[in-house]
Amino acid sequence: MDRIRIRGGRPLNGSIPIGGAKNATLPLMAAGLLSDGPLVLENAPDLADIATMRHLLAQHGLTVVHDKAARTLTLSGAATNLEAPYDLVRKMRASVLVMGPLVARFGEARVSLPGGCAIGTRPVDLHIKGLEQMGAVFDLEGGYMHAKAPQGLKGARIIFPQVSVGATENLLMAACLADGVTELVNAAREPEIGDLAMCLMRMGARIEGIGTDRLVVEGVKTLGAATHPIIPDRIEAGTYACAAAITGGSVFLEGARMVDLGAVVRVMREAGVDVAEEHGGLRVTRSNGLRGADVMTEPFPGFATDMQAQFMALMCVAEGASMITETIFENRFMHVPELTRMGARIKYHGQSAIVRGVPKLSGAPVMATDLRASVSLVLAGLAAQGETIVNRVYHLDRGYESIERKLGAVGAEIERV
């Protein structure tokens, strides 16, 4: 099994290209079920999660071609199989996003319940309730959600009791082919939602309110072919911003956009990190010491839960104390014991952690537990004295393309072994 070996203490300097957003690409691929296509997605990343979604869509009957040299994904054809099996859905929760498109276009879907994952349970009740309001009838049996809408979906006014990115994406796609007007109230506002909406409009959908918490969709009979460029990955950009900051370097994040980062930029500036827009990207520099800063994860434009572990690693070497509160997932502090093995001073209770900065971290063998936790250990290793070995890096490959190559190109001493 692969591991990442890092010898820390080297400031990072140079340029890192930011790839297409994983969390935008997955729903965009599911949108390929809404038409015969072709749907061409540009700036597509080469990640394990993308391969999983590719396999899922292929077993549904779509033709999916990933041209890694051209960085494009091309999806075409109509679904011939309406079941998303457990073996694929269990690997990646975003697989549930096929449900809305399948029910909307074919009147039926049988999708495995995804179950929990390492960072906590993420129920699909909002997906089900929204589709029921649009006329779908569900039968839950044998670990599967079997949805039927033989007369097609109907427009509805759906009010989310809490913000849900996945439910917003699923119902937005379903609404495009529903009969009548659908209104999604308290919808998620993440940049990936806006990217999906723009792609759907290129396919012929009618959507108003993009970027707000109220999306209005006027259903159409059919959607067609489109070409769509995927937005840059804001979590990858934020992660490499933390890498520059934790090593005291200066890195240009090629393709990154300030507007996508929300509260992450504000908090990093509070911590003493300079983040500036330059032509074609963002420059992140830390020339002085780090200061402790408090963080509470929230839906966009708040501080992203997917940046919490990386920011905690940064605060481990900041002067003073920081309080980090996780409000999105109930079990997202699994990186804490591994960071403490490297000399970090962290105490947590429930959903809040107090981080007291130390002058130096020390290299150690550590184990990744999930995608963002694993990259927080890489960041800590970049700043630590001595050698850090990060085990179980298959988590990293789900969301970071060629991380050792990208960090190595800006001066990190890092290798995959």
The tokens for 225 are 């072919």
Annotated binding site for UDP-N-acetyl-alpha-D-glucosamine: 93, 122-126, 306, 328
Evaluate whether 188 touches 163 at the Cβ level (below 8 Å): yes
The tokens for 98 are 């096929």
Which class is domain 22-229? alpha beta
Mean pLDDT of the chain: 94
Evaluate whether 286 touches 274 at the Cβ level (below 8 Å): yes
Residue 199 annotated among the catalytic residues of the structure: no
User: pTM score, two decimals?
Assistant: 0.95
32-59 pLDDT, tens per residue?
A: 999 998 999 999 999 999 999 999 999 9
- Let me know if the fold of 4-18+232-416 is the same as that of 22-229: yes
Show the DSSP H helices in 336-409 as ranges. Answer: 336-341, 371-383, 394-397, 403-408
Annotated binding site: 22-23, 93, 122-126, 306, 328
Annotated binding site for phosphoenolpyruvate: 22-23
Alpha carbon of 417 to those of 4, 59, 350, 406, 411: distances in Å?
6, 33, 36, 16, 18
Active-site residue (options: 117, 199, 242, 316): 117
**Alpha-carbon distance 204 to 197, whole Å?**
11
Q: Pick the residue with more confidence: 251 or 372?
A: 251
> Hey, how many other C-beta atoms are within 10 angstroms of the C-beta on 278?
10
> What residues contact residue 369 under an 8 Å CB cut-off, 6+ apart?
118, 334, 335, 338, 392, 395
Q: Where are the domains of the chain?
A: 4-18+232-416, 22-229
61: left (phi over 0), alpha (psi -120 to 50) or beta: left
- When mean pLDDT is compared across 173-177, 204-208, 313-317, 330-334, the lowest value belongs to 330-334
Please give the CATH architecture assigned to the domain spanning 4-18+232-416.
Answer: Alpha-beta prism (3.65)
**Average of per-residue pLDDT across 367-392:** 93
Q: What percent of the chain is modeled with pLDDT above 90?
A: 87
Alpha carbon of 362 to those of 8, 380, 388: distances in Å?
9, 9, 8
250-299 pLDDT, tens per residue?
A: 999 999 999 999 999 999 999 999 999 999 999 999 989 999 999 999 99
